[in-house]
Structure 1
Amino acid sequence: MLKGRKLKAAILFSDIRGFTTLSSQISPVRLVRQLNRYLNDMVEVILDAGGTVDKFIGDAVMAEFGCPVSEGEKTDAMNAIRAALGMRKALHQLREEWRQEERIPLFNGIGINYGELIAGDIGSQRRREYAVIGDAVNVASRVEGLTKKFGTDILITDSLYQVVKDEVEVIPVGEEEVRGRSGTVKLYSLIGWKGESPQLYQQVQRDLQEFLQEKE
């Protein structure tokens, strides 16, 4: 493992929308307190879904499902979906709490991809850490950024969708070029599990659109 090996996993990136604006509106103490509450709740959901929290990049979270230990392709992919939907629910509940406390609500974007990556102990002689790299990781990061373009909170790639398509409801949003690679990536906006009410998805999308319009 430390020397590096190839494996397949689901990679999830999540980032807060409008964090730069938020940081200019409240005190550093309140900002850090709110950010830590958000990150704590998101991480708990990821861990409960069987994910591995890879790192924090500012207010962003990177996690893998199926790395370093896989539970099987379908289970790993389903766990990633479970985490994303759990994060949507947890953040919605946080927003309701923050509104009652007259705090600024937060929204996030989540991008998930499934594919081959390289995992191992990466770094310098003085500082190394376990990390994952590769095209699948880069695509997941870019897809998270595309949630802004499509005005939605969760986007998944076709490689992930093909594994879980019998279990989830989605809206195809088309194919997009992803910076740093040739070709396009087919994307879907994730509604939820098949057979479940889309009410939370619809509410979050309405709230997100209002938030984005206020920023314009």
Structure 2
Amino acid sequence: MALVGALPLGSLWQLLAGKLWEDPRCAAYRYFAVSLAERLRELEQSSSLDIGDALSKPETQPLLLSAFETAAKSIGEKKLEALRNAAIQGIFERSYPFDLSVMVFSLLDRVTEGHVLMLHVVANRGGPGKAPLYEMELRQVGITTEMRRTSDTSLMAHQMTLNEMILHDLINMGLVGTRLEIGPVHSWSTDPSRNAPARVMLTKKGQLFIEHIFPDSED
């Protein structure tokens, strides 16, 4: 109730009462509100977290409002899970400086479910003792056995193109970077896939982002 009362959104009461299910944005909003409230209740019961104290701080309301606005525009359970984790750590547990939380919420407003999934794949393959994935391998993310078996390869080609665009987005946002593995090269091919392969890894910014949104990530 304290969480709900902190938001200057009168319609939230109707939403939690189940009266605004028609709009898909409200479904995402409701899912986020309920999962956030449940997690906060668990934390309050198992630790010394004081929700009332957190809500009384001046920087809480703008961050919380930003989180709910992003939730209303989000599609995908993984994206909403990342947003909830960022809200828990950045707003209530204060695990990170305020400026970093602002940056994370700004990035979460830009990324899609596909971006979050690819970041998770990159993070889990970049830990100690694990070689980072090649750029070409990341183009296969989300491609199922059914896609490979179908006689129409257009769906798989579309997914690979989408993954390539998502990877470029993550590079442009500074969340991942590439490292060429250059060995003996006798001649360069016009086919880029036959030249020196590039591995993809999290940047420092990407690592902080992942820690914020997936605190239990394997990396």
TM-score between both structures, scaled by the size of structure 1: 0.27
Higher helix share: 2
Q: Which has the higher contact order (CA 8 A, sep 6+)?
A: 1
TM-score between both structures, scaled by the size of structure 2: 0.26
Query: Higher Cα Rg: structure 1 or 2?
Result: 2
Higher strand share: 1
